[in-house]
Structure 1
Amino acid sequence: MNHWIASLPMYNVTPQHAALWSALLRDCMTAFARAGGPGDVTLAESTDVDLMTHWRREDLLLSQTCGFPYRMLGLASHVHLIATPCFDAPGCEDHRYRSALVVGEQAWERGATTLTACQGLRAACNSADSHSGMNALRHAVAPFARDGRFFASLRWTGSHAATLRALANGEADVGAIDCVTLALLRDAHPEALRGVHVLGMTAPAPGLPLIASRALAEPQAEALRAALDTALAANVERARALRLRGFARLGGDAYAEIEHMAHAAAQLGYAELR
């Protein structure tokens, strides 16, 4: 492969965070090139195509996906699992993370102070292929569903930030937010969380994996892992702002937990979030 592309699209919750992730990616690519990796790499500031298409690119040198498409939608067979970030945020434990179960002010004032009290309310979810927004929420409410239903309605928002806006605006009542996203937003824009109440956390799962095309040889994949460590250590303040503590090396089977959560909900008759 003569040319590669790299991106970190998942935790760009504000323009400031996007700039920090881009700088980390540049430092990683510099360290990788010094170790003998390819120097001809385009750093994608944004992806203007479907992310599943982007993640399956043969020239993908580094990107970040969600554990649900990695394990459940066949992505694992197309990519190297490079590393899993470890974050310093409430709900994180080493390489594992949770989703915060949240309700808006109006729902809270009407008594939605526990998950079971959210039955019959309006849910909001970022996307159907999200572990943190959909699969973890489905797993959490499955024991309380009746006849395959828990919520009165479901609104697809497109992002965790949009879910929070829907809750704040009274357009929805309850949702699940990736705890890293929640912490980064709280750092940068605490006003965005005004009137949003956290009821609890979902079960933990491995965090969002960093991946590369299988066109990348395994020795280069290992050099890329080392380059990530070098980039992290290069700027302590940047790492702190990103709440990034390190990178774990997991096997792909670690993400079976996400599949187990989906199956557990299905066995309770709640295969679809609704």
Structure 2
Amino acid sequence: MNKIAALPMYNVSPALAADWHALLADVLRRVEPAAAIVERDDLHAFWRRPDLLLSQTCGYPYVLGLNEYVQLIATPEFDAPGCDGANYSSVIVTRSDAPSDSIEACRGARAAFNAADSNSGYNALRHTVAPYARDGRFFGETRETGSHLGSLHAVADNRADVAAIDCVTMAFARDAYPELTGRLRGIGYTRSSPGLPLIASKHVSREQAGALRAALHEALTTDHERARRLKLKSFANLPPEAYDSIRQMESEARVANYARLA
């Protein structure tokens, strides 16, 4: 049975999607040339497949049960504002002409989020807002957009007032879509947490997992220009418990009686 792979999380533009595809192809050539690069809509099912050789997920679904099916391969270290080593945070954005200059000032505003299972767009924003919520509410309205780019457009087009955007996505968006991001401004950052991990099925052997780590570093160092475009500095090998901080953010919001973004 041939193994499968995909890097779906940071395809912010067609050019970036092509670079991520090329990086993955280089890794697979070094580890298992017969593996197929695929596209899937149902990522939660895809990540749980026993033939998964390499992919990338969000830390929130990882700690909410995906960790039972996969093993950590590496965590990218990005060169982007809001990143610190293998940790990242979310930029809280509003429109350039909006009066709010802090998250506290956004009480009653319309919030956009990409998905409820997103650490950067939902969990981190909920954690940031929780200390200011009253009776489990802070925003006047919330809107699910399906992607960070969707949230950026919702705020820029005045369909929402505030959103939390993965700082790596924001850096990519500033490069690829300056007209869009030029209509927005940041008013703060969320708490940082480990970045989006690269994963493999637990059926992947220890030897092959090690080969994947070595191939990732080799693919990074052999094409410096591609690494620059992808803002990749290195790959960290974090222990699974490093991601417990994401669950802790959820727990702290629940203790503050703010279990959902509202």
TM-score (norm 1): 0.94
Query: Among 45, 54, 62, which residue is 1:62 paired with?
Result: 54
Task: Please state if 1:40 is matched with 2:28.
Answer: no
CA RMSD of aligned residues (A): 0.8
Number of the residue aligned with 2:81: 90
Alignment deviations for residues 222-246 of structure 1 (CA, whole Å, 9 cap, x no partner): 1111111111111000000010011
Residues paired across the two proteins, number: 262
Runs of 4+ residues deviating >4 angstroms: none
| Matched residue SS, 1:85 | strand
- Paired with 2:214 and 2:119, the residues of 1 have a C-alpha distance of 28
Number of the residue aligned with 1:233: 221
Contact 1:27 1:231 in 2 (8 A): yes
Unaligned runs of 5+ in 2: none
- Paired with 1:4 and 1:163, the residues of 2 have a C-alpha distance of 34
Number of the residue aligned with 1:78: 69
Shifted more, 214-223 versus 58-67: the winner is 214-223
Alignment deviations for residues 10-54 of structure 1 (CA, whole Å, 9 cap, x no partner): 00000000000000001111122xxxxx3321112x21x311001
Equivalent position amino acid for 1:70 in 2: Y
Contact 1:122 1:151 in 2 (8 A): yes
- Paired with 1:197 and 1:184, the residues of 2 have a C-alpha distance of 15
- Paired with 2:178 and 2:10, the residues of 1 have a C-alpha distance of 17
Task: Please state if 1:115 is matched with 2:114.
Answer: no
Task: Please state if 1:131 is matched with 2:123.
Answer: no
Contact 1:83 1:225 in 2 (8 A): yes
Cα distance, 1:215 vs. partner? 1.0
Query: Among 79, 94, 109, which residue is 1:103 paired with?
Result: 94
- Paired with 1:62 and 1:55, the residues of 2 have a C-alpha distance of 9
| Matched residue SS, 1:127 | coil
Cα distance, 1:105 vs. partner? 3.7
- Paired with 1:20 and 1:114, the residues of 2 have a C-alpha distance of 35
- Paired with 1:272 and 1:156, the residues of 2 have a C-alpha distance of 13
| Matched residue SS, 1:154 | strand
TM-score (norm 2): 0.98
Number of the residue aligned with 1:35: none
Cα distance, 1:221 vs. partner? 0.6
| Matched residue SS, 1:112 | coil
